């Protein structure tokens, strides 16, 4: 195991000083998936708009560490709280430095939690009233009213992260009522990544993960579904859930053993649910060779970030690509316009198929 990989196995938690120039807040940088050795991680500045409204934020970033130790090519993977928190995260990452390794480290992931100090992690009475109202519409299949109430809650803002996690799950429920599985999956994934155990306890978390697995299965996102099943099986209290999901899991195993292409469906979205930022879609591949099909809307380019290398190119219907590493070590990001959709066909690797041009493989490291 390399030195960098040993670092990645350790959870690095940084708590910013409580007394900041703009007010009292706590900032957590959860760098459990960080492969590089940090030298300087300057504190992001809590957006002033958050202090005025009480809005808290959470931002997940993926960035590359260059051979000279700089953070570069930052991608906002997901966020809550709005574009101000995304900008704060980006501004901070641009200043970060890492121990130079004379090699590029392609995929580093950091979660930033901007939390105001309120004394306890809980939902306010105002939020709970709105939540119960939305839930009542959901249970009555009153989709139009539920959508109006959800949109109003998002527009109002001022929520803490506990409330944001609950709101993401509620938005997902409404998206499901409207028949949009991709949007529902996006919100469920965000809720489980964002929520602490208090916001989403063991039973609720297991239920959310089971729904995520079912949606990933439905959309053909088998690589991601396998990871979700592994998370469920790691919890000894999820045996009943995993048993119920076993037929779908076996369908995935059968599909992976077949020489037929796998069809993965995805829709690009803007992580901050706003007009700013870079719309994207991401997924974990199950096979190393892939192509694009049924592109609808403006889908521009992709980048695969793996443990030791990365690959990028334009999205072309006649192109065929091979990941430079084991697909389990890679994540594919697709960029374009918000709402654009596409399919990725995952193929069984064949020596006779076309290979990537060397110029598209970026700074591969052994």
pLDDT of residue 145 exceeding 80: yes
pLDDT of residue 354 exceeding 90: no
**Taking the complete model, does pTM exceed 0.85, yes or no?**
yes
Structure confidence by residue, pLDDT tens digits, 262-281: 999 999 999 887 777 899 99
CB neighbour list of residue 248: distance below 8 Å, 6 or more residues apart: 213, 214, 217
How far is it, in rounded angstroms, from Cα 222 to Cα 220? 5
How far is it, in rounded angstroms, from Cα 277 to Cα 283? 19
Pick the more confident residue, 329 or 6.
329
φ and ψ at 333, to 5 degrees?
A: -110, 130
Of 27-41, 170-184, 212-226, 243-257, minimum mean pLDDT range: 27-41
The two three-digit tokens of residue 303, written as one number:
């980048």
pLDDT at 316: 85
How far is it, in rounded angstroms, from Cα 320 to Cα 49? 45
DSSP H or E segment with residue 39: strand 38-40
Of 40-44, 303-307, 347-351, minimum mean pLDDT range: 347-351
The answer as to CATH 2.40.128 being correct for domain 262-362 is no
Q: Where are the domains of the chain?
A: 3-116, 125-257, 262-362
Name the CATH code of domain 125-257 (choices 1.10.260.40, 1.20.120.1810, 3.30.930.10, 1.25.40.10): 1.25.40.10
How far is it, in rounded angstroms, from Cα 180 to Cα 173? 10
C-alpha to C-alpha distances, 115 to 57, 90, 100, 130, nearest whole angstrom: 7, 17, 31, 22
Structure confidence by residue, pLDDT tens digits, 296-323: 999 999 999 998 899 999 998 778 999 9
Domain covering 3-116: architecture? 2-Layer Sandwich (3.30)
- Strand 310-314: give its sheet, edge to edge: 280-283, 330-336, 299-306, 310-314, 361-362
Q: With bands split at pLDDT 50, 70 and 90, how would you rate the model's confidence at 117?
A: low
The two three-digit tokens of residue 290, written as one number:
């892939």
């Amino acid at each position: 195991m390399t030195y960098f990989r040993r670092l990645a196995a350790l959870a690095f938690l940084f708590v910013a000083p409580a007394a900041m120039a703009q007010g009292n807040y706590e900032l957590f940088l959860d760098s459990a998936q960080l492969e590089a050795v940090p030298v300087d991680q300057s504190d992001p500045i809590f957006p002033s708009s958050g202090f005025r409204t009480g809005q808290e934020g959470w931002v997940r970033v993926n960035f590359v560490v260059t051979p000279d130790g700089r953070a570069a090519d930052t991608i906002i993977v997901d966020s809550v709280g709005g574009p101000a928190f995304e900008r704060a995260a980006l501004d901070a990452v641009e200043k970060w430095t890492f121990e130079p390794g004379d090699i590029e480290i392609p995929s580093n992931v950091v979660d930033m939690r901007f939390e105001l100090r309120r004394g306890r992690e809980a939902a306010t009475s105002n939020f709970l009233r709105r939540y119960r109202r939305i839930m009542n519409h959901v249970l009555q299949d009153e989709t139009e009213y539920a959508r109006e109430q959800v949109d109003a809650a998002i527009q109002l803002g001022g929520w803490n992260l506990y409330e944001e996690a609950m709101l993401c799950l509620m938005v997902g429920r409404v998206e499901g009522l409207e028949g949009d599985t991709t949007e529902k999956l996006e919100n469920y994934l965000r809720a489980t990544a964002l929520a602490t155990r208090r916001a989403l306890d063991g039973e609720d978390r297991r239920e959310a993960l089971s729904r995520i697995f079912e949606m990933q299965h439905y959309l053909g996102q088998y690589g991601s579904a396998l990871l979700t099943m592994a998370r469920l099986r790691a919890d000894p209290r999820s045996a009943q859930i995993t048993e119920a999901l076993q037929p779908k899991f076996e369908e995935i195993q059968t599909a992976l053993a077949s020489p037929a292409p796998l069809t993965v469906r995805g829709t690009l979205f803007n992580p901050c649910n706003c007009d700013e930022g870079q719309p994207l879609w991401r997924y974990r591949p199950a096979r190393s060779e892939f192509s694009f099909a049924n592109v609808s809307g403006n889908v521009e380019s992709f980048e695969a970030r793996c443990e030791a290398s990365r690959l990028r190119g334009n999205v072309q219907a006649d192109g065929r690509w091979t990941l430079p590493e084991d697909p389990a070590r890679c994540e594919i990001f697709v960029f374009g316009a918000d709402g654009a959709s596409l399919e990725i066909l995952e193929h069984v690797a064949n020596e006779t198929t076309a290979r990537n041009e060397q110029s598209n493989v970026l700074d591969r490291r052994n």
